[in-house]
Chains A and B, each alone.
Chain A
């Protein structure tokens, strides 16, 4: 059974930092591109970042570029998101998701349950 389990969310003050983790099982993590997607309370889904299967390529949404860093440890089947200089606009549930790729099409086939990050004083 495929599982993606996020952890590390919580309450953090504005300007603070937090590191999210996503532990994967049930599929070959080291072959998979992984993404982070967030959802502010009552709002829609917003793509945050992605990382290639070997960690050599990363991309970020403009809203988090320079503040967030995505990384992975394939030996531990774990994806990370280091979040710095957090602001109220970063308050959201953060989901990790696997991006399935087949030729010319790709989609998120597995999602974690999400971890809530609240930025507030």
Chain B
């Protein structure tokens, strides 16, 4: 049972827009910034979004993040086949004194 809650799966067709939600609490998302990571099959996670809505250089602007209260979301527009991966949200938890992750969302491009 992960501290941050994500839907286990999401899907869309090429060109569509999909969103992935991440729900937490006041001790994590409510008081700290949210990061998103993309994990392609068989590889290490890669930073996708940091500080709620910032993209590292090299990440396409098709990817965007937002946060409101104790929830965050990742949006992917213009879906492409190479976006098929697992996506994880992450934040620091002040009560646990550690990082917490969502359970991950497996994105399928139909």
Interface, chain A (partner B; CB < 8 A): 35, 37, 44-47, 50, 59-62, 95, 104-109, 111-114
Q: Complex: how many Å from CA A62 to CA B102?
A: 17
Q: Does B99 contact A (CB under 8 A)?
A: yes
Question: Chain B, interface size: which category?
Answer: 20 to 34
Residues from chain B with a CB closer than 8 A to the CB of A45 are 37, 39, 45, 88, 90, 101, 104
How many residue pairs bridge A and B at CB < 8 Å?
Answer: 59
Inter-chain contact B103/A44, CB cutoff 8 Å? yes
Using CB atoms, name the residue of chain B closest to A60: B98
Inter-chain contact A47/B100, CB cutoff 8 Å? yes
Inter-chain contact A44/B104, CB cutoff 8 Å? yes
New contact pairs (17) apart from A107-B33, A108-B45, A114-B44, CB-CB < 8 Å:
A44-B2, A44-B86, A44-B102, A44-B103, A45-B37, A45-B88, A47-B98, A62-B96, A104-B33, A105-B50, A107-B47, A107-B51, A107-B90, A108-B37, A108-B47, A109-B47, A112-B44
